[in-house]
């Protein structure tokens, strides 16, 4: 296909009927930015229930890494499903889980040997990492960062500090969690200049948190996203992670890297932390790891993952069908999709940055590979957040056949399937241009 095909008003009649049923039967906690009702998908294209075709730059929140219904992944799922659907890896053995553990050890971004704990989602993978860090170090406290998103179950939510609505009404939270500023050099949280922002954010940990609030020898781990996802696709300088690794090593803290959104080839490397050369102690992953089937993993150095039987488990984690999908996904990533994310990502990034010359609303463009964020501002000098305008641009993209999502308070994220072509990237950028132009004209 060369572009989106819109046959009906949006939403179409069939979509509207589904939305009305949803309103009566589904939790009100879900966030829906616009009325898209999925019927089928192939590659980077998705079709709604009324036959309208959209270019997907969301990938189900960075999940459909190999594209929608990749035939090799589907074949692996069908093959495993015909053998057996489930046999809990907590109590029994099956080769797909063992094989996946071996594959993950081969690609883990730190020296081995490694072991992996299998869960169903990113928040479960992070819960496992938190428990493991506390168990291994015999320490009780954790440091996380403002702007972070690690999940919505109580442990991971206690570390999450992205949006107030995610925390409001759910306290008290798990005790012993301390938050520090993340090196967002576009709008430095400690008021420093871009070249000094990373150092000053880490200085806050060293000279404030570890002096006034928590003793270093009582901190089990620091959990950090290599690139903040829900926080706005924020890419800190490599020095931020390098110095963080030094700090944790000095004080005997573990470094947990949350690669749930940034991993699985999205940034042009298997893991985003690889861009920095930093080796964590534990890495968590989910989303794109199984091309759409529920799977989360916490992988650690073997000496760390030495907890005894019964300390942590999951009935469905590492389900054999999900493991089969993951093995097929990893093969596709290694055989070309990581490289495609690098090449097409650079092309798309150039197109996104060119939008800054045309639209004053675009204050910053950042990212790596096919993990690209555009931060919208009302004034480039004051950097006033264009929150309403961001939401309007997202909706305008939908009306033109492009699916995108917001991130943070005022950023737009582009996280398409890693099969995206340069031509499709150009289509996405052109639709973004039209949407920005329309919203900009309304403001004028």
Do 103 and 330 meet the contact criterion of CB atoms below 8 Å apart?
Answer: yes
What's the predicted TM-score (pTM) here?
A: 0.96
SS3 assignment, position 339: helix
| pLDDT value at residue 78 | 98
- Dmax (CA) for the chain in angstroms is 64
SS3 assignment, position 331: helix
Catalogue all structural domains in the chain, each as residue range(s) with its CATH number.
13-69+336-443 (3.90.1150.10), 71-333 (3.40.640.10)
CA trace torsion 300, 302, 304, 307 (10° rounding): 110
Q: Whose structure tokens read 């390098």?
A: 242
Burial environment of residue 163 by CB neighbours within 10 A (0 to 12, 13 to 18, 19 or more): middle
| pLDDT value at residue 119 | 98
- List CB contacts of 31: < 8 A, sequence separation 6 or more: none
Q: How far is CA 220 from CA 127, 278, 378, in A?
A: 14, 19, 41
| pLDDT value at residue 1 | 76
**Helices and strands of the chain, counted as H and E runs:** 12, 16
pLDDT in tens, 380-438: 999 999 999 999 999 999 999 999 999 999 999 999 999 999 999 999 999 999 999 99
Per-residue pLDDT of the chain in tens (444 residues, 90 and over written 9) = 789 999 999 999 999 999 999 999 999 999 999 999 999 999 999 999 999 999 999 999 999 999 999 999 999 999 999 999 999 999 999 999 999 999 999 999 999 999 999 999 999 999 999 999 999 999 999 999 999 999 999 999 999 999 888 999 998 999 999 999 999 999 999 999 999 999 999 999 999 999 999 999 999 999 999 999 999 999 999 999 999 999 999 999 999 999 999 999 999 999 999 999 999 999 999 999 999 999 999 999 999 999 999 999 999 999 999 999 999 999 999 999 999 999 999 999 999 999 999 999 999 999 999 999 999 999 999 999 999 999 999 999 999 999 999 999 999 999 999 999 999 999 999 999 999 999 998 886
Half-sphere exposure of 289 (CA within 13 A, CB side): 33
**Which ranges of 300-421 would DSSP assign to H, the alpha helix?**
320-332, 338-358, 387-399
| pLDDT value at residue 146 | 96
Do 181 and 145 meet the contact criterion of CB atoms below 8 Å apart?
Answer: yes
Separation of alpha carbons 44 and 401, rounded Å: 12
Q: Whose structure tokens read 């690794």?
A: 245
- List CB contacts of 190: < 8 A, sequence separation 6 or more: 181, 197, 200, 201, 204
| pLDDT value at residue 16 | 98
Separation of alpha carbons 372 and 235, rounded Å: 10
- Which DSSP category does 424 fall into? H
b/e code 238-276 from CB counts within 10 Å (16+ = b): eebbebbbebbeeeebbbbbbbbbbbbbbbbbbbbbbbb
Q: Whose structure tokens read 């081969």?
A: 106
Q: In which order are the strands placed within the sheet that holds 402-403?
A: 38-42, 45-48, 53-56, 402-403
Radius of gyration of the chain from Cα atoms?
22
Separation of alpha carbons 63 and 340, rounded Å: 16
pLDDT in tens, 337-366: 999 999 999 999 999 999 999 999 999 999
| pLDDT value at residue 2 | 81
- List CB contacts of 389: < 8 A, sequence separation 6 or more: 361, 376, 378, 410, 439, 443
């Amino acid at each position: 296909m060369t572009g989106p095909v819109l046959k009906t008003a949006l939403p179409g009649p069939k979509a509207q009927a589904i939305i009305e049923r949803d309103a009566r039967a589904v939790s009100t906690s879900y966030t829906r930015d616009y009325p898209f009702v999925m019927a089928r998908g192939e590659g980077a294209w998705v079709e709604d229930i009324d036959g309208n075709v959209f270019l997907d730059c969301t990938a189900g929140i960075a999940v459909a890494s190999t594209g929608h219904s990749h035939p090799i992944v589907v074949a692996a799922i069908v093959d495993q499903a015909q053998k057996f659907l489930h046999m809990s890896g907590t109590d029994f053995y099956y080769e797909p889980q063992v094989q996946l553990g071996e594959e993950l050890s081969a690609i883990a971004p730190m020296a081995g040997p490694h072991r992996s704990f299998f869960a169903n989602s990113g928040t479960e993978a992070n819960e496992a990492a938190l428990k493991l860090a506390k168990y291994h170090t015999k320490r009780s406290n954790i440091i996380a960062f403002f702007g972070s998103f690690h999940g919505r179950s109580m442990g991971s939510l206690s570390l999450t500090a992205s949006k107030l609505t995610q925390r409001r009404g759910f306290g008290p939270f798990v005790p012993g969690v301390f938050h520090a500023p993340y090196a967002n050099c576009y709008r430095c949280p400690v008021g420093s200049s871009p070249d000094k922002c990373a150092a000053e954010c880490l200085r806050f940990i060293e000279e404030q948190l570890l002096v006034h609030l928590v003793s270093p020898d009582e901190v089990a781990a620091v959990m950090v996203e290599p690139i903040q996802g829900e926080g706005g696709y924020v890419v800190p300088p490599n020095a931020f992670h390098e110095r963080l690794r030094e700090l944790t090593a000095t004080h005997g803290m573990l470094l947990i890297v949350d690669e749930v959104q940034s991993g699985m080839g999205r940034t042009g490397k298997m893991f985003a932390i690889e861009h920095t050369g930093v080796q964590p102690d534990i890495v968590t992953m989910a989303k794109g790891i199984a091309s759409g089937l529920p799977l989360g993993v916490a992988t650690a150095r073997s000496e760390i993952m030495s907890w005894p039987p019964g300390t942590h488990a999951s009935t469905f984690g590492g389900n054999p069908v999900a493991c089969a999908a993951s093995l097929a996904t990893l093969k596709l990533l290694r055989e070309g999709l990581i490289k495609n994310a690098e090449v097409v990502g650079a092309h798309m990034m150039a197109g996104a940055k060119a939008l800054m010359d045309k639209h004053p609303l675009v204050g910053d463009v950042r990212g790596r590979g096919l993990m690209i964020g555009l931060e919208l501002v009302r004034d480039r000098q004051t950097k006033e957040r264009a929150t309403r305008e961001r939401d309007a641009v997202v909706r305008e993209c939908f009306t033109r056949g492009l699916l995108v999502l917001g991130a943070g308070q005022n950023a737009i994220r582009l996280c398409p399937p890693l099969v995206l072509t340069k031509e499709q990237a150009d289509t996405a950028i052109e639709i973004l241009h039209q949407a920005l132009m329309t919203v900009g004209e309304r403001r004028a």
